[in-house]
Structure 1
Amino acid sequence: MKSNLIKSQNQRVERISTSTLVIGIDIAKEKHAAQAINFLGIVLTKRPILFSNDLAGFEHLEQSIRKLQKIHGMNDVVVGMESTGHYWFNIANWLVGQGIDVALVNPMTTKRNKENRDNSPSKSDPKDALVVADAVSRGFSRPLLQRMKHSAVYGLWLQTESTGLLNLDVLKTESTAGSISVFPNTDKHLMTFFSDRSLATLRRFPAPSDILQLTSEQMVQIWSEYMTRPGGERGKNKALELQSLARHSVGDTSALEEDKWELRHLIEEYERIRRIIDEADQMIEKALPEIPCSNLIRSVGASVPATAAILAFGGDLRKLSHGKQLLRKAGLNLAERSSGKYKGQIKLTKRGNSLLRKHLYFTVFHLLSFNGAFQAMHVHNTEVKRMTKMQSMMKLIGKLARILVAMAREGQAFSPDKAQPPLAA
């Protein structure tokens, strides 16, 4: 593990030669700042290169880079920037289009190395640009491995998940609370609260008084407008059950019309967000075949969102030398604080992308329900090695990461025989 990491960092350091111009950019909303250094860390710019976040600014940066290359006789250039926010997308994409290599620096790296040059906690855009350039020259960066288009495709789904799904949780809570205050116990008798039958009921007859005005046949007929299978005799029995509850309801009727109005709009908002998420998933599923290794990841049994997350935040898996590099990107690598006689507790660093971490976990959780190889390994871990279920899950996440990287490097689909090693007692 450590040798692989050292080898990868050595390769990034060796990438910077005597003929390489290293540019560090401090990203901002409207105006970026850039500084240039050589492989020794000597600053080559008399003053910072300030350029606007538009085409004219980008062209000014390229002209400045070419001028510095000519002055100092350098035929190679690497541009580094922090991978934070979204303002770096345009400049990184444009530089790649001009044939210039782009390296991304973890914001935590720049934060921890900010005082190296002047032993001062001061902060300025030119200073931050130098810190970024230093990090690139010492190998504390990662290359921009795949086209921006792929990250942008996943970004649509990411935006939907980070806002839409949170709204769904809120909407579910508010809608459930609103429904229960008007008509208690419906959540128990309608099974899944946000099923098609439940949504149809909440839309058309959310209050007990609405139900008592209908016959069971009329209720089933209304359900059929929203459901392909409203359920013949079963649907009629469900309607009779709800009517029985309505006759003895103790729901709040002090502001019934207002409650029904609020509930109706909450349901409409829920359905709107649900449509957005479905559309985003369809767009990602359509774009995935264009991305290298996507079919290999899907062969394991990963879902469309999980595959998109692995590709967007794990980068080009073919460039990784070990699965633990993928774990580090997800913050699933272990960290220990020890000094002298003190030995601290080993914990996950969580210094990585939380969405990648989440989808690796849920992919293993999903695989344990149908993948024979992972099921066998999980049973071996829990029953033979006496691990807890969570310990086994974390071990299998590491196994999945190694499998994914090996599949990408070899260009082979998932094979249960290769995935499951001989399990010794």
Structure 2
Amino acid sequence: MKFKMQDKQNQLIERITDKHLVVGVDIAQQFHVARAVNFRGIVVGDPITFPNNEEGFSSLLIWINNLKRLHKLEAAIVGMEPTGHYWINLSKWLMKQDIEVVTVNPHLVKRNKENRDNTQSKSDKKDALVIADMVKNGYYAFVRNTSESFEKLRVLMSNRDVIVKRLVSSINQLNRWVDIVFPELRQVFKDITAKGAIATLRLFPSPMELGSMKPEEIVAGWKSLMKRQPGLKKAYLLLNVARKSVGTRQALDAYKFHLEQLLEEYDLAIQQLERVELAIKDELPKIPFANKLLMIKGISEISLAG
């Protein structure tokens, strides 16, 4: 029998019984707003605004328990948007109190704003009510507890994403710098991030510096930074293109200062990327079936962690 999406939603709706208090929370950085409805969508109680701390979370729990007692309800389900990171601490705290927590799609929240008052107006109290309605109607997903290893892997991969973005940004800026000061460098090194290209940018970045140098001096400079360095042929080519360079000759001191900082940022990103990937590879074997999945051809440790 084919399982349809509608069947899944029906099951989610059926989980909300007449004994449930359905709570919607509009998440913010400092203060959250919660509203509650019953299984039919009738508003229950007054809204509550509470701070994003232990005292605020406790006041929310007291509010939920009072509404359950007043309306003779036995269970509570709390829905929230998983936007940003401000919802994480609240969701974990509630789950420790044996309160079921679910998430709703932020895009669907925006589309359902007219359901209550036929307007697209926005307020924290209205958004909290819209979220509660969506949970009541079965438009939610479960929040599941993960193991320590999964949580570590999630944090490490998120960290890696940030570092990769910074690395890409620094490479783009290095390419821009080369385009302005020494565009002919690409005739010698196709990739600006190649070891030879980076070594050249460190030692003699501008064509004017190369004008008075000999090929042997360039090779000696490369040798001081690399175990396997380019030979005399590359050095002659570098000198030839430097003499014909159309790169700018103004404000070279400022450009060199800028290049130093770009290379520092590039080096830092490379070092941090190596460290975080090493931490990911150390944590990955603790995940069930990870070693077996790595035996599949074409799956790397980083791709599997992702």
TM class by shorter-chain length? Answer: 0.7 to 0.9
- Residue 48 of structure 1 and its aligned partner are, at CA, apart by 0.8
What TM-score, normalized to structure 1? 0.63
The structure 2 residue matched to 1:268, chosen from 261, 264, 271, is 264
Does the CA contact (< 8 Å) of 1:202 and 1:264 recur in 2? no
- Residue 90 of structure 1 and its aligned partner are, at CA, apart by 1.1
Does the CA contact (< 8 Å) of 1:78 and 1:102 recur in 2? yes
Does the CA contact (< 8 Å) of 1:19 and 1:74 recur in 2? yes
Aligned residue type for 1:254: Q
1:117 is paired with a residue whose SS is: helix
* Distance in 2 between residues matched to 1:295 and 1:73, nearest whole Å: 51
Label 1:286 to 1:7 Cα distance change in 2 as closer, same or farther (>3 A): farther
Aligned residue type for 1:43: V
Report the counterpart of residue 307 of structure 1 in structure 2. Answer: 304
1:135 is paired with a residue whose SS is: helix
Matches within 5 A, 1:354-365: none
- Residue 135 of structure 1 and its aligned partner are, at CA, apart by 1.0
For residues 266-322 of structure 1, what are the alpha-carbon distances to aligned partners after superposition, in whole Å with 9 as ceiling and x for unaligned?
22222222333333333333333444565565455444454344xxxxxxxxxxxxx
2:43 is paired with a residue whose SS is: coil
How large is the RMSD of aligned CA atoms in angstroms? 2.9
Report the counterpart of residue 112 of structure 2 in structure 1. Answer: 113
Does the CA contact (< 8 Å) of 1:178 and 1:263 recur in 2? yes
* Distance in 1 between residues matched to 2:36 and 2:2, nearest whole Å: 31
Label 1:304 to 1:139 Cα distance change in 2 as closer, same or farther (>3 A): farther
Report the counterpart of residue 276 of structure 2 in structure 1. Answer: 280
2:225 is paired with a residue whose SS is: coil
Label 1:250 to 1:108 Cα distance change in 2 as closer, same or farther (>3 A): closer
Does the CA contact (< 8 Å) of 1:157 and 1:277 recur in 2? no
Q: Which structure has the larger Rg over C-alpha atoms?
A: 2
Label 1:8 to 1:284 Cα distance change in 2 as closer, same or farther (>3 A): farther
* Distance in 2 between residues matched to 1:296 and 1:78, nearest whole Å: 38
* Distance in 2 between residues matched to 1:293 and 1:5, nearest whole Å: 29
1:3 is paired with a residue whose SS is: coil
* Distance in 2 between residues matched to 1:297 and 1:139, nearest whole Å: 35
Aligned positions, number: 304
* Distance in 2 between residues matched to 1:117 and 1:262, nearest whole Å: 56
Label 1:8 to 1:285 Cα distance change in 2 as closer, same or farther (>3 A): farther
* Distance in 1 between residues matched to 2:92 and 2:224, nearest whole Å: 48
Report the counterpart of residue 237 of structure 1 in structure 2. Answer: 233
Report the counterpart of residue 251 of structure 2 in structure 1. Answer: 255
Does the CA contact (< 8 Å) of 1:206 and 1:260 recur in 2? yes
Aligned residue type for 2:140: S
Which one has more relative contact order, counting CA pairs under 8 Å at least 6 apart?
Answer: 2
Report the counterpart of residue 228 of structure 1 in structure 2. Answer: 227
Aligned residue type for 1:307: L
For residues 169-223 of structure 1, what are the alpha-carbon distances to aligned partners after superposition, in whole Å with 9 as ceiling and x for unaligned?
4433432232243333111211321111111110111123433454434433332
Report the counterpart of residue 20 of structure 1 in structure 2. Answer: 20
Label 1:21 to 1:152 Cα distance change in 2 as closer, same or farther (>3 A): farther
What TM-score, normalized to structure 2? 0.85
* Distance in 1 between residues matched to 2:36 and 2:242, nearest whole Å: 75
Report the counterpart of residue 59 of structure 2 in structure 1. Answer: 60
* Structure 2: gaps spanning 5 or more residues: none
* Structure 1: gaps spanning 5 or more residues: 310-425
2:80 is paired with a residue whose SS is: strand
2:79 is paired with a residue whose SS is: strand
Task: List structure 1 segments (4+ residues) > 6 angstroms apart after TM superposition.
Answer: none
Label 1:109 to 1:280 Cα distance change in 2 as closer, same or farther (>3 A): same
- Residue 99 of structure 1 and its aligned partner are, at CA, apart by 2.4
* Distance in 2 between residues matched to 1:225 and 1:31, nearest whole Å: 57
* Distance in 1 between residues matched to 2:4 and 2:151, nearest whole Å: 26
- Residue 39 of structure 1 and its aligned partner are, at CA, apart by 1.8
Aligned residue type for 2:304: T
